[in-house]
Amino acid sequence: MARISDLLAVGRTFSFEFFPPKNDAAQLSLGRTIAELEGLNPAFVSVTYGAGGSTRERTRDLLVWMRKETTISPMAHLTCVGHTRADINTILGTYRSAGIENILALGGDPPSDPADVGPSDYAYALDLVEHLCQDEGFSIGVAAHPEGHPRSTSRAQDRRFLAEKLRRADFAITQFFFEAEHYLRMIDELAALGVTKPIIPGIMPVTNGGQVQRMAELSGAVFPAWLARRLDGVEDADEVRRIGVEVATTLCADLLAAGAPGLHFYTLNRSTATREIYANLGLPVS
């Protein structure tokens, strides 16, 4: 097992994100994806966390399974929503016992009905980060939004809040974006605030145009007009993926050339596009 902060201190990291399966069939499909991606030697993988409580146990079970049955180092997502400090301490104890050392601390999406979740002792992700910092057993990451968090009142406010999180956390992983200038501008803005912690860019290769556009809107990312034009009228799924992989490969190459500390791929629990980008970039595999 390896702490992500230690891995980043040595060199670039390449990593993947999964979401917990909702049923047995999805579990089998994800198992195949993990096996296919394990050969790419990821530095770590992350597993998302249901803010409304629907997938929390599945997240835990998947993390513990990966820790025991694969060579992959998993990172757990944790959110503020619906958690007390006692809840978090219990979860951390489970992860510590399983040998999981990496946590991504998130605010979490507010539930549509607050009655669906329990009380929370945390108002913001920074509150959760400060709690986690009291336990030296974990490397702590936070989320960054290159184009600004959708609930931020201004870009300047977003950068101040992110800088405060990164002064306590070890690293950040970004929400996905499609143009390198957004990431590079964010890095410059944080440096101006005196923060230079590693920020790993998140990459979402387009394999379903409509789906990714909806996800971009929810996350505050802009789906660029030039990319929409390239996909306009393309109905063949393989051709959509080919365009998405080509665009993502160019973005990844630009980010690495600019000095990004690694790449984090949002896989949507599928391996094909990520494996194709790896091949295009000439990244090492086992």
Angle subtended by helix axes 56-69 and 85-98, to nearest 10:
20
Handedness of CA 55, 93, 265, 30 (dihedral sign): negative
Q: How far apart are CA 177 and CA 163, in angstroms?
A: 20
* AA identity, residue 106: L
Q: Is position 246 annotated as part of the catalytic site? A: no
Which of these is catalytic: 17, 101, 189, 276? 17
Angle subtended by helix axes 155-168 and 125-132, to nearest 10:
10
Residue 123 main-chain phi, psi, to 5 deg: -90, -35
> Which residues are CB-contacts of 52 (< 8 A; sequence separation ≥ 6)?
81, 82, 111, 116, 117
Residues annotated as part of the active site: 17
